[in-house]
Amino acid sequence: MNKTLISLLLALGYPAHAEENILDAEAAIKNGAPLAAYQHLAPHPLYPYLEARYYRDNLATTPTATLVAFLKKYPNDPFSTTLAKQAYPYWAAGGDNDAIIQSYSPGYADEALECQYRSALMNRGKTREAVKDSDKLLASDKSLGAECNSLYDRLAHSGHINAAQHAERFRLAMANNNTLIASYLAGNLQGGAAQAAQTWLDIDQNRLPIESAYSLTDPDWRSALLAQQLGKRLKKDPLALAQATNAASMGYISRPKDAGKLYNPLVRKLAQADDPHTLTLWDAIPAGEHEDNTTYDLIAYDLRRGDWRGLPAHLGKLDKDTQNKAEIQYWIGKALEKSGDRAGADNHYRRAASQRDFYGFLAAEKLGIAPQYHDRPVRRDHHYTTVVGRPAAYRARIFRNLGDDARASQEWQALLKTLTPAESAQAALYASEIGWSVQAVTTLGKSKNYDALALRFPTAYETRVRQLASQHGISPAKIFAIIRKESIFQPAIASKAGAIGLMQIMPATASHTASKNGIPYSGKWQLTEPDTNLEIGSQYLTDRINEFGHLAYAAAAYNAGPSRVNQWLAANPGLPLDEWIAQIPFTETRDYVKRVLEYEKVYEYRLNLPPSSYASGGVRLW
């Protein structure tokens, strides 16, 4: 426990090192022990967990005023959520609407609790308050549970949900293929909307042909229906492509979000297949609706065709913010360079080089200028003591130390709800100081603070990483780049695919690498041990660098497997590195390689290493 926190706890009267006693008491209360037996622990920040546990098990004998006071005292805390989930239904069953209304807080409430609160308001005749700001809640495309469905029905029958809201919720449900919910919602529609909804459901169930949608006179209904149904059919129905192209040419997909939802995946599919319809449907996507991977697939399509003159115009369809990204500026620059406009090319390269990004770093190297890191460190200020002094900050740290990651994360998220942006930066600093790198990184991300590089790019395990890097003859920045991308320094994390630990190693890969290189290894449980994970992971990374000669190819192999990289290299012999990366067919791997190469440069900066050239191993960059 750091000295600052200890002094704060003592100053506030919290008995230090009482966590184990608190958890033992919680278990005892769960088994029937009285809360009064643990009154001596009341000053401790974990004590509310004892209260909440006791109250949950003794709702009938605990005065309502006590429960209400507790929930009002802790309006943002996870233990309030668990208590309210039992107290609200209990109060509702007894007709105690006032208890729900008085104790409610959006800080601890989920959707179900919010709906119970709004229902309680309606029961007390406070319909205007019940309806206020409910649009987002009730516009969900999914089932919200019995509490919210009941509220929705009450508001609908009392005329507080209008026809447009009914229609939009139905369209949302269908757009996300929730036909069961949509069928239920269709009962709230009338007139032309009811007919359009029934047509949609009939087309979805193949009772009507998709051409029936063309007869709809309402453009919003027609647009939403065609976008969802054509998108659903594209993988199976060979006619869907022609129908989608026709819908674009006829202007039937009139809502921008519908066009984006239909045409983004379609353009990706067509571009990857070098289909000549690619540009027609790219042009059908409204500005602001182009998804990043659609844009990157379009770039790869143009590169394969050698359409350097067309590429700037195609990228000109993007909204201005997207056009200003380093990657887009880089490709416009290269297209102009290939077309003979060197001055124009350098202008775009400079705009790319001003950004901390792989393509920004690549452009800087092309121009022969220093890379830009835009480092703005977060240092302790007067907000730090306020943040660290919050009980939620203490509880998060203690639960993490006790190995209860679920409760630790719940407390951290509860803390963040109460902080200003300036305080959030100090919370990220605190998380970094206690070795909770993933929370430091994600906390900064939520507040869009991307320039605090010491917090966003930790150097945990630096001594071991440097030792292994020296042993293998590679830069420690390469190892750190993989750790940062793979796990954000979470030693026990496991992926759905089965990769484990800091460098996300598959057990089979670990076994083979360890056996081949004489590394002691007994089983996958060892991969959660940082030392073992780093030793095996750094060896595997080094093997791939030695095999392929460049971190870009090695990173692609780390993510997608060496055999695929060999296939991609064979399919595109002689491509410069920038174009090879752009044409990686797996979107995940393409992004992975770009991020790893970016992170390598940032870690060179963080480790005070001289900036290296991307042109290692004789690779042609551009």
Q: Which CATH number fits domain 469-618: 2.50.20.10, 1.10.530.10, 3.40.1160.10, 3.40.830.10?
A: 1.10.530.10
d(CA 593, CA 555): 6
The token pair that represents 87 in the structure block:
């107290």
Of 515, 511, 539, 538, whose CA–CA distance to 525 is shortest?
Answer: 511
Residue in the structure block whose two tokens are 């991609």: 568
549 by DSSP, 3-state: which?
coil
Q: Where are the alpha helices (DSSP H) in 239-389?
A: 240-249, 256-272, 278-283, 292-305, 311-315, 320-323, 326-338, 342-353, 358-367, 382-388
**Spans of all domains in the chain:** 382-450, 469-618
Within 13 Å, how many C-alpha atoms sit on residue 218's CB side? 15
Within 13 Å, how many C-alpha atoms sit on residue 607's CB side? 26
Global pTM value: 0.92
The token pair that represents 119 in the structure block:
């229902």
DSSP string, 380-400: --HHHHHHHTSHHHHHHHHHH
Of 580, 579, 478, whose CA–CA distance to 537 is shortest?
Answer: 478
Q: CB neighbours of 322 closer than 8 A, spacing ≥ 6?
A: 290, 295, 328
In CATH terms, the fold of domain 382-450 is 1.10.1240
450: left (phi over 0), alpha (psi -120 to 50) or beta: alpha
* Residues paired with 500 in a beta bridge: 494, 505
* pLDDT at 4 (0 to 100): 47
d(CA 423, CA 433): 15
In one-letter notation, the amino acid at residue 351 is R
The token pair that represents 618 in the structure block:
């004789």
d(CA 534, CA 309): 46
Ranges of the chain whose pLDDT falls below 50 = 1-6, 8-14, 16
Q: What is the dihedral of CA 349, 351, 353, 357, to 10 degrees?
A: -110
Q: How many CB atoms lie within 10 A of CB 525?
A: 10
Q: Where are the alpha helices (DSSP H) in 176-288?
A: 179-186, 191-204, 219-233, 240-249, 256-272, 278-283
Cα angle 330-333-339, degrees, rounded to a multiple of 5? 145
